[in-house]
Structure 1
Amino acid sequence: MAGLQKAKSEETHRRVLEAAISAVEAGGLDAVNIRKIAAEAGYSVGSVYKHYADQDELLLAVNSVTLGRIRERMSEALEGSVDPMFQMKVLAQTYLDFARENRNLWTTLFAHRLPEGKAVPEEHILENIALLEFIAVPLKALNPELEGDVLAARTRTCFAAVHGLVTIGLEARFVGLSGEEMDREMMFLVERVSGM
């Protein structure tokens, strides 16, 4: 009996999360509405709240899935490569491609803010750190003198530079780039911030 209840609970959890992911994919952050997601998943609003304390917790779960998908794509992109500059470039291009192909998920990852006083869960912080590790490894290979806090700071700087270029480009700001021009300039940026 307990096993059946656990399986049903896991199924509810999964279906609610899938409905929330679909809502974000279709309409972005503003599309996340507990009542609509409950209806889409085929459950009551109360059932959703049994699994997710509030909308913020549900969005954190969606963002965790997004981070996982980015990490998976980066891992696949790096398979078989050993040259650290190539790795830095392929990571940046993979990030750009993911943002282009999954615009609403990617935007929600950075647009969602927790209310003041509500701490980001430790596991979510660790997921972000795991993403940065992809950059830290080839960056260290290119700059062996970087250690500890300096390496961590330079890793965040590299990510911020790439993320900024992607953000401005996808938001079509007046200084933004697009298409092949964006791809070319991304490679230029990566070479410069990687210390080469």
Structure 2
Amino acid sequence: MARRQDHTPAQLQQLTMETVLKLLQQQPASSLSLRQIAREVGYSPGTLINQFGSYSLLLLAANARTLDQIYRELLAAIDHADSPQQTLEACALSYLNFASQYPHQWRLLFEHQLPEQDHLPDWQQQRIDNVFTLLQQQLAILKPRANASDCAQTARTIWASVHGICVLALDDKLFTPGNISGRSMIHSLLSHYLPAWIKDEKETVMHNQQATEGSQP
């Protein structure tokens, strides 16, 4: 393939990402190749490697776009909810909807593995942190006395549970009657888990109050 210089580096990166995400609408990442992407973009594979550093980093850049999309979807869900608990459920349902609408793109987030000697770049870690921060902020409103560590763990517990539902729903492995769906399971999960999480705090406060009253002369 002849060398092209029709785009600036930033334009070429943008074009490449648009191409990868378009291809992921049609096929799983496992069937993609650098050569196929380069052919669709109209540049040589070597040119793309020069831009991204490696094929692995090219896919990681695509994952960054996916995280940006998910982040925007969560922000939109937050804007339309009336309470922290409703917000968390709206975020969970938004995540399920994204996985259902963009299954190959969504799966690549978790199937892609960097070589052992490579560390996750800061720009990608920051995107992951931003997504969890949205959840942690809602949890902090829901349970004001919870510390940052508690909110961080709870956010990841909720995400891991919702993620499992998404995986099974996409694979059609929920093995449920027709009136049970991924959406109804997410509602059941959060409507039981969040009140129990909040109750732990209330019981602790009551216990501390009783202990204080009992120690007074």
TM-score higher than 0.5 here?
yes
Query: CA offset at residue 180 of structure 1?
Result: 5.5
Residues 78 and 91, structure 1, Cα contact 8 Å, conserved in 2? yes
Query: CA offset at residue 193 of structure 1?
Result: 2.8
> After TM superposition, which residue ranges in structure 1, 4 or more long, deviate above 6 angstroms?
176-179
* Separation of aligned partners in 1, 2:119 and 2:177: 35
What are the superposed Cα offsets for residues 115-172 of structure 1, whole Å, 9 maximum, x if unpaired?
2221111111110111111211121222222112222111111111111111122122
| Residue 207 of structure 2: aligned partner | none
Query: CA offset at residue 6 of structure 1?
Result: 11
- Provide the alpha-carbon RMSD of the alignment: 2.1
| Residue 104 of structure 1: aligned partner | 104
* Separation of aligned partners in 2, 1:171 and 1:134: 28
Counterpart of 1:120, as a letter, is: L
Question: What is the count of residue pairs matched by the alignment?
Answer: 192
* Separation of aligned partners in 2, 1:101 and 1:174: 18
What are the superposed Cα offsets for residues 51-107 of structure 1, whole Å, 9 maximum, x if unpaired?
111111011111011111111111112214341111011011111111111111111
Query: CA offset at residue 7 of structure 1?
Result: 6.0
Structure 1 segment 77-156 matched on structure 2, within 5 A: 77-156=77-156
| Residue 21 of structure 2: aligned partner | 21
Name which one, 1 or 2, has greater alpha-carbon Rg. Answer: 2
* Separation of aligned partners in 2, 1:24 and 1:9: 23
| Residue 64 of structure 1: aligned partner | 64
| Residue 169 of structure 2: aligned partner | 169
User: 1:31/1:22 Cα in 2 relative to 1: closer, same or farther (>3 Å)?
Assistant: farther
User: 1:106/1:186 Cα in 2 relative to 1: closer, same or farther (>3 Å)?
Assistant: same
What are the superposed Cα offsets for residues 1-32 of structure 1, whole Å, 9 maximum, x if unpaired?
xxxx8962222221122222222222121133
1:8 aligns with 2:4: no
TM-score, with length taken from structure 2? 0.81
| Residue 159 of structure 2: aligned partner | 159
Unaligned stretches of 5+ in structure 2?
197-217
* Separation of aligned partners in 2, 1:85 and 1:155: 12
Counterpart of 2:19, as a letter, is: A
User: 1:179/1:78 Cα in 2 relative to 1: closer, same or farther (>3 Å)?
Assistant: farther
TM-score, with length taken from structure 1? 0.89
* Separation of aligned partners in 1, 2:92 and 2:52: 33
Query: CA offset at residue 38 of structure 1?
Result: 0.8
| Residue 35 of structure 1: aligned partner | 35
